[in-house]
Structure 1
Amino acid sequence: MSESPQRPPRMSRMSTRAVVVGGSLAGMLAAAAVKEHVDSVEIIEAHGLPEGPESRPGVPQAAHFHVLLSGGANAIEDLLPGTVKELLGAGAHRVPVTTNMLIYSPEGWYRRWQRDTHYLITASRDLTDSVVRRQVLKDPRVSVRPHTKVTALLGSSQCVTGVRLRAADGTESELSADLVVDASGKGARTPQWLAELGISGVAEDRIDSGFAYASRIYRAPVSTRNWPVISVQADPRGGEPGRTGGIVPIEDGRWHVSLIGTPGAQPSREAAEFEPYARTLRHPVIADLLAHAEPLTDVALTHSTVNRRYSYERLKSWPEGLVALGDSVAAFNPVYGHGMSVAAIGAVALRARLASRGLADGLSRAAQRAIAAPVELAWSLAVGQDIHYRTTKGRNAGAADRLLQRYVSRLSHTATGSFHVATAMTEVLTLQSPGTALLRPGVLAAALIGPLRPQLDEPTFTAAERGLLADAGIRLPWLTA
């Protein structure tokens, strides 16, 4: 048995430092995870960080709607107690799933089952980032070095001992560290840095369905307090291009609206085409509501929806003193809303390994394997959907994939009329239970029986929501009394 790599001796053990690469949400959560186990944490940020809920360079996806799943929200609350309360106080919404959601799945409309155990936090990405950032940076052990880039790792293939830096004026320096956490996002250069240390063979998976996102913020025509999230999902089973859309209530009485399509049905950047595209979805609810809302922004368009994953946990060699987290490990098609939550759950896993091992040898590999667990679940959920579009590149659906899709479709069909199955699916989709929860005997039996209630023909608005619509003079022609 080979010996584990040993950290080279330091001049002094009196002070320990962690360096976090990137001041994104994942970077801030990484700092929260490690700050109790070192004397200081320094976040190296390539750009500046805004004081409040303002856009930050390097987060182009912030233009599109974001949801924080309850699995991720619970993880953030575990790392930074009081953060969810701060978010809600700043205008974010807590949306019970599916109690306060109108979801049109490929198998039909989900019922609005009454429960409060699973939820979404909805807000602009800028607000979520700012609240988390404020919570992290109020700890005096955490500091930020802005306008500075990490250009390389220091150390060897056995042990990372710090980072090489380049300041905005081109000045280069070195910064030693007992632990380096790479949270630099989709543009992470970790594979190149590892190669420079002599570590090769990083497995990369890329699955690209070709989705394009067009998003716009509207002034809502009704109160957004307790207003539901609305989602009209694409149906990949027919072989036609997929069209998806959603309305998410955010702070300040606004709706964040995203329209999403695969090649052959991609939305446009043109404002005049935004609402007509919404009319091409499988149901007109989004288009009919937008007809009464006031647009506040131009349309933001992106084609960056590829699923990309580095399987660092499978490498035969992994250096002590290095951990990768968040999009640096895996980035998902944002239509599924997993990114922030996976980063948060991964940060909790990192903290747990630090609590049990400290900075001792074996920490980095143990942490990387633990971080891979929530990545694996989110990856299977995202890729398990995307591979069934004809336009997807990187992997085709095989016989096992098609069999699994039929089972999941059966579950979704059952969930439209079964509280038990809807709850099981929600546990997994909010990252609060592993995928194996869908194979429990009770869930299998319920799927075999099928839905216990008839399918809904239209979305179900509550009496209070109907009253808001009536007060605003909004008549939805398909909405029955």
Structure 2
Amino acid sequence: MSSEHTVVIGAGMAGLLTAAVIGAIGRPVIVLEQDQHGGGPVPRGGVPQGRQPHVLLHRGLRVIEELLPGLRAQLVAAGGVPLDTGDLAWLGERGWAPFGTPAFELVSATRPLVEHLVRRRVAELPGVELRGNARVRGLSRTTTGPGGGWLVECFDAPPVRAGLVVDASGRSSRLPDWLARWGIEEPATTVVDAGFGYAGQMYAAPSDHLGRVAGIVMLPVPGGAPAGGVALPVEGGRWLVAAVGAGDHRPPRDQAGFDAFLARLRDPALADFTRSARALGDITVHRRTHNVRRRYDRVPHWPGGLLAVGDALCAFNPVYGQGITVAATQALLLRQTLTAGARPGWERRLMRRLHRAADLPWAIATGEDLRHTGDNPASGVDALFGRWSGEVDRLAAHGNLRAQRAMDRVYHLVGSPAGLLHPALLTAAVRGRLLGLPAPSPRPPLATGSAWPDRADAEKVPGNPPPPP
């Protein structure tokens, strides 16, 4: 096999989007995945959080559409639910966000459906091979062939030769160990763990079950009982509901405990929703939520023909919904590099750009998690900016739409934190401190329909696909 092949280790979203970029420029790609894919939108063993709600941030939706044109339409056709973030009932630390004004588009769907559609598009690209049941044991250098290359060593399978290897194997990446075997310094690694845990369950309810409200988001608040949750519509006339908490306040797996957890939240919105909808299947939990960053950009003598992307490079607490968006942004940076013409040393330069793409989401995720752990941020500047972000959040909770949109742009990774320093926000904050703020934003009009006691009731909803059995 020619050393001009690319081997991508891992078939999650980071690996698939990387393969999409490389395959689109006509270079042969082999994607090695540990799981054997069943052919449909089913949760993968390698993605333990796959059964929990996922929010594809607005920037992620835009970038994936750029990489795979038409994917948004395919997602909606498969049952994904378009919604506007301005129509979410969003309860932040300081109160309800302004409701009912246009903001950013999302398409809400389960992680398995999103991955299935992306996987199908990538598999259709000429020269792309998705190879299942391929567990990678290690990497070794080879001097055979033009310019040398790599041997990707697998368990129970012959090694695969490659000119370029991309590690997209996620949080469990073994790349630091492989680097050490070659005498290359392991990367400095930072871990921030607030001890979050998730419990999620599927429910059957019509898409308009909450009336004008598109979904519910209740953020955990640092101090006291850090607990929250979400309810989002997904394909098939279903809703995904998740409870989230940190430390001793992590939600349990049993139904009675899950219901009691929702009932203890600072607003009854989620508990009211689950009482008026019909539970489907078991509760699933996920507790591997730490943030981890491997600074490969600082490793001296970075080897040619090697990249790391996605969670293998920088993994985030999933509560912030950033992972897929960052992976898509990194794939776009790879495409820009390859189409511009790769010059010697391009891998090291690209690794620096990939790390910079993770800077803002890393600051958001770890900044919030450090507040839950009670640890101080890395610098006084970070602490000062964190306090100012809280002031902007307070303005938003009191109806300031400029403040809310500035926060939205940062959260959805479509704007810079510098937008939070707009003079109008500074003026509003000073005025609020001197004269007082307007009344808090009212609670959104959360109206839940009646319960669905059986499948027949679900099928009576006009235009709403029945939930699966």
Displacement of 1:215 after TM fit? 0.8
3-state secondary structure, aligned to 1:424: helix
CA deviations 1:431-471 (Å, max 9, x no partner) are 1123333234444444444597521342234xxxx4x7379
Partner of 1:5: none
Partner of 2:298: 314
From 253, 256, 268, the counterpart of 2:240: 256
From 232, 251, 260, the counterpart of 2:218: 232
From 63, 77, 96, the counterpart of 1:109: 96
Q: Aligned-pair RMSD on alpha carbons?
A: 2.5
Displacement of 1:405 after TM fit? 2.6
1: distance between equivalents of 2:160 and 2:212? 48
Is 1:67 the counterpart of 2:55 in the alignment?
A: yes
Partner of 2:116: 130
From 211, 217, 220, the counterpart of 2:202: 217
For 2:443, the aligned partner's letter is E
Partner of 2:384: 403
2: distance between equivalents of 1:350 and 1:428? 23
Report the CA distance shift for 1:197/1:100 in structure 2 as closer, same or farther (over 3 A).
same
- Alpha-carbon contact 1:28-1:132 (below 8 Å) kept: yes
Partner of 1:381: 364
From 366, 378, 381, the counterpart of 2:349: 366
Is 1:143 the counterpart of 2:129 in the alignment?
A: yes
From 155, 172, 180, the counterpart of 2:165: 180
Report the CA distance shift for 1:201/1:182 in structure 2 as closer, same or farther (over 3 A).
closer
For 1:289, the aligned partner's letter is F
Displacement of 1:363 after TM fit? 1.7
For 1:204, the aligned partner's letter is T
Report the CA distance shift for 1:443/1:317 in structure 2 as closer, same or farther (over 3 A).
farther
Q: TM-score, normalised by structure 2?
A: 0.89
- Alpha-carbon contact 1:275-1:287 (below 8 Å) kept: yes
3-state secondary structure, aligned to 1:389: helix
Displacement of 1:413 after TM fit? 1.0
CA deviations 1:241-268 (Å, max 9, x no partner) are 3001110111111110110111121211
- Alpha-carbon contact 1:214-1:267 (below 8 Å) kept: yes
In the TM superposition, what are the counterparts of 1:15-34 in structure 2 within 5 Å?
16-34=4-22
Report the CA distance shift for 1:105/1:176 in structure 2 as closer, same or farther (over 3 A).
same
Report the CA distance shift for 1:448/1:323 in structure 2 as closer, same or farther (over 3 A).
farther
- Alpha-carbon contact 1:18-1:180 (below 8 Å) kept: yes
Number of aligned residues = 445
2: distance between equivalents of 1:265 and 1:397? 26
Displacement of 1:343 after TM fit? 0.7
- Alpha-carbon contact 2:306-2:347 (below 8 Å) kept: yes
3-state secondary structure, aligned to 1:370: helix
CA deviations 1:397-425 (Å, max 9, x no partner) are 76554433321111111123112121111
From 150, 160, 163, the counterpart of 1:162: 150
2: distance between equivalents of 1:374 and 1:92? 27
Displacement of 1:160 after TM fit? 7.9
3-state secondary structure, aligned to 2:249: coil
1: distance between equivalents of 2:451 and 2:175? 55
Report the CA distance shift for 1:345/1:444 in structure 2 as closer, same or farther (over 3 A).
farther
- Alpha-carbon contact 1:318-1:365 (below 8 Å) kept: yes
Partner of 2:252: 268
Report the CA distance shift for 1:242/1:357 in structure 2 as closer, same or farther (over 3 A).
same
Is 1:292 the counterpart of 2:273 in the alignment?
A: no
- Alpha-carbon contact 2:166-2:306 (below 8 Å) kept: yes
Report the CA distance shift for 1:447/1:391 in structure 2 as closer, same or farther (over 3 A).
closer
3-state secondary structure, aligned to 1:387: helix
CA deviations 1:335-371 (Å, max 9, x no partner) are 111111111111111111111133x312211221121
Displacement of 1:214 after TM fit? 0.8
Displacement of 1:186 after TM fit? 1.1
CA deviations 1:159-198 (Å, max 9, x no partner) are 982232324xx24x33222211111111111111111222
Displacement of 1:331 after TM fit? 1.1
- Alpha-carbon contact 2:142-2:151 (below 8 Å) kept: no
Percent of matched pairs sharing the same residue: 34
In the alignment, structure 2 segments of 5+ residues that lack a partner are 454-469
In the TM superposition, what are the counterparts of 1:199-218 in structure 2 within 5 Å?
199-218=184-203
- Alpha-carbon contact 1:162-1:174 (below 8 Å) kept: no
- Alpha-carbon contact 1:245-1:258 (below 8 Å) kept: yes
3-state secondary structure, aligned to 2:333: helix
3-state secondary structure, aligned to 1:296: strand
Is 1:427 the counterpart of 2:414 in the alignment?
A: no
- Alpha-carbon contact 2:204-2:452 (below 8 Å) kept: no
Report the CA distance shift for 1:35/1:212 in structure 2 as closer, same or farther (over 3 A).
same
- Alpha-carbon contact 1:211-1:262 (below 8 Å) kept: yes
- Alpha-carbon contact 1:50-1:56 (below 8 Å) kept: no
Displacement of 1:33 after TM fit? 1.6
In the alignment, structure 1 segments of 5+ residues that lack a partner are 1-10, 474-481
For 2:164, the aligned partner's letter is L
Is 1:196 the counterpart of 2:181 in the alignment?
A: yes
Displacement of 1:226 after TM fit? 7.2
Report the CA distance shift for 1:351/1:247 in structure 2 as closer, same or farther (over 3 A).
same
For 1:418, the aligned partner's letter is N
- Alpha-carbon contact 2:277-2:450 (below 8 Å) kept: no
